[in-house]
Chain A
């Protein structure tokens, strides 16, 4: 119905959100540092929130809090409800992830995943186990 440029401008939010999501994914895959991986995960998550809220936006609408005016246009409350739940669950997963990183640091003395993997491979090579700590964590 409209030209491609207008179409891109109309769905601009979606395109930038996709770029942000892929940036978060890139951090999760490429970085070795576990804390940075968790930050990447949080960024990915927040970008998905922005996507949902953009879907719920109504042009000329207002926040979905009922007023007396009969003809008021409200934005869609359903994505808001979904994302409220997701934000709280996101913090729960972040806390769990950080607890795991703390245990990994206690067991291996490093939070770089390549180093941890190398240490694990080294520990598995000779059958002898060095101390209980490493066995507990694996």
Chain B
């Protein structure tokens, strides 16, 4: 019961943070709020028995993501120019309609799902019991999540490493010579390459 109440409180906190993110115009608070969102969801994961996910989310989602955002913010303007609300209802109405329709469709589907924690729900009766019962005597690793991640589904994890490598490669390619370009753009404003634009 205490777990259920904690769950509700954390969900309420998440909704509160979301509303703040939508309403805040300065980007630094928005980024910090996104970090807080990750941290609160990590607390939720602990409450829902997913301890491995919780510390990954706290370290990677709330830590590394926020650091990446802050590092990028050093080069970017710190405030949103005109919030879409300021441009009149016509600017946010289509987005609102799309979100409400999609949300209602999802609610219609979610109502049919078995309740949270139901032991007879399909995900709990298929392959999970086998992992829980056999992995201990088979591989002698007490943490079942680690067993599945590194052993039963090792290729999945290998694919994940490839994805991260590709993303790192993409970032390197995109940012190669970035500081140089930024410097040229800055010096362009002071008129050094002004001649280049004249023949246009």
Contact = CB atoms under 8 A, between A and B. Distances in A.
Nearest to A30: B95
B99 to A, nearest CB: 4
- Per DSSP, chain A at the interface is helix
Interface residues of A, number: 88
B3 to A, nearest CB: 9
A88 B124 contact: no
B41 A50 contact: yes
A30 B7 CA distance: 29
Contact of B178 (A43, A95, A106): A106
A95 B117 CA distance: 35
A26 B167 contact: no
A10 B148 contact: no
Given A33-B81, A91-B61, A103-B178, A56 B72 contact: no
A46 to B, nearest CB: 5
A61 B52 CA distance: 15
Nearest to A75: B49
Given A24-B18, A39-B30, A106 B48 contact: no
Interface of A: 7, 10-16, 18-27, 29-33, 35-36, 38-40, 42-43, 46-47, 49-50, 53-67, 73-81, 83-85, 87-96, 98-103, 105-106, 109, 111-112, 115, 128-131, 133
